Structure 1
Amino acid sequence: MEEELDEIEEGRLNFVDALKEFHKQFAKDLKAATANMENIKKMEEPTDRTCEKCGKPMVIKWGRYGRFIACSGYPECKNTQEIATVVNGSSGNGQKAGAAGGVAISAEAPAIPEDHGTCEKCGSPMVLRKGRFGPFIACSAYPKCRNTKKIAMDKEGKITITKKPDRILDEKCPQCGKPLAVKDGRFGEFTACSNYPECRYIKLKEVGLDCPRDKCGGRIVERRSRRGRVFFGCSNYPKCDFVTWYRPIAERCPSCGNPYVLEKVTKRDGTTRFCDHEGCDFKKAVNS
Structure 2
Amino acid sequence: MTKIDNDLFSAHEHALEKEFGVCPECGSELVIRHSKSGPFVGCASYPNCEYTKSLIEHDVEQVKVLDGSHCPLCSEVLAVKNGRYGMFIGCTGFPDCHYIAHDNDDSVEDKLPQCPKCSAGQLVKRSNKSGRTFYSCNAYPDCNYILNQLPIDQACPQCGWSVLIEKSTASGKKLQCPQKSCGYKQKD
- Shorter-chain TM-score: which interval? 0.3 to 0.5
TM-score by length of 2: 0.46
TM-score by length of 1: 0.32
